Amino acid sequence: MTSRGFLLRALPLCGVAVVCLLLGSLPAAAQTAPAAGAAPVATHSYVMPPGELVRAAIQNEIKDDQHTHLFTWKSRRNRGNQIVVEDVVDTPTGAVSRLVLIDNKPPTPAQRAEDDERIRKMVDPAQMRHKKKDQQEDDERTRKILAVIPDAFDFLYLSSTLAPNGHKLTRIKFIAHPGFEPPSRESAVFTGMQGEIVVDETARRLAKIDGTLFKEVTFGWGILGKLYKGGRFVVEQSEVSPSHWDTTRMILHFDGKVLLIKPLHIDDNESSWDFQPVSPMSVEQAMNFLAHSSQSPQNAQLTP
């Protein structure tokens, strides 16, 4: 799997992680949401029941998740009150990133020095080994969570459209199945979730998930924490190469409490684009690669 587990960073283990795990691992589709002006498809044209279509797509996600894909790409995300753009590159031991823009401006010398120090600490061999171990554990947890989805929800076919590339995109409503018993603490979040899934029916891949908590969800019998009603996530994905799909847009907004004491607030908006496959490289080679690619910050201002 590629090391695109950016959804996992700094999220507390109180059930929110499952949302990140679920969405960060979904390799993406040739088109994400149905494009404006896409040709509608007759509602009676679908053959596979929506629940089985989702199950088939998830099986493909899990299979792709077990393959190694190395890419470089650009990432735009919120960091406090700033919007930062980074160049990122995968290595066999983990991803390495370098700051390119802060609020659409190149970093000042002081900001560059601070980011270089961050990179130096990040690429410490012990840190990289620890990060890789965590990623492997996250990947395994992701596969287990993905496998639960077809049983956690009831699915209702909504509509289909034809994307410009000719692929059939099918919108499916999902809502928590009343009889679902979460097999893990993380999957408890599914008991209060509903929303829409867009499946690229031609490729049998998940293209978009838009989910909202329609009720408060507690974890660990109310001891570990809770997520408040109204929390939402949106994840869109694209076919970034003929053999690989990846996350291109992610929005997370959740409020709650951890251990029923510490307030929890997650508000993240991230876009990724300009994916290019790369050959395996060492961390030192990756740092040199990023230093070279970051010399043209204007390229990073292109919209995703």
State the sign of the Cα–Cα–Cα–Cα dihedral 266, 270, 276, 282.
negative
Q: How many CB atoms lie within 10 A of CB 57?
A: 27
- Name the nearest CA neighbour of 169 among 304, 36, 27: 36
Token representation of residue 135: 């990623």
Alpha-carbon gap, residue 212 to 199, rounded angstroms = 18
- What is the per-residue DSSP string for 13-77? TTTHHHHHHHHHT----SSSSPPTTPEEE-GGG--S-HHHHHHHHHHHHHHHHTS---EEEEEEE
pLDDT score, position 27? 34
pLDDT score, position 13? 31
Alpha-carbon gap, residue 270 to 247, rounded angstroms = 10
- Name the nearest CA neighbour of 55 among 191, 147, 169, 181: 147
Q: How many CB atoms lie within 10 A of CB 134?
A: 13
Query: Which residues, 6 or more positions from 138, have their beta carbon under 8 angstroms from its beta carbon?
Result: 5, 8, 21
What's the DSSP call for residue 220? T
- Tell me the mean pLDDT per 10 residues along the chain, length 304: 34 35 34 46 62 92 77 90 91 89 93 90 79 77 83 95 91 94 84 94 92 88 78 90 86 86 87 93 89 66 61
pLDDT score, position 255? 92
pLDDT score, position 19? 40
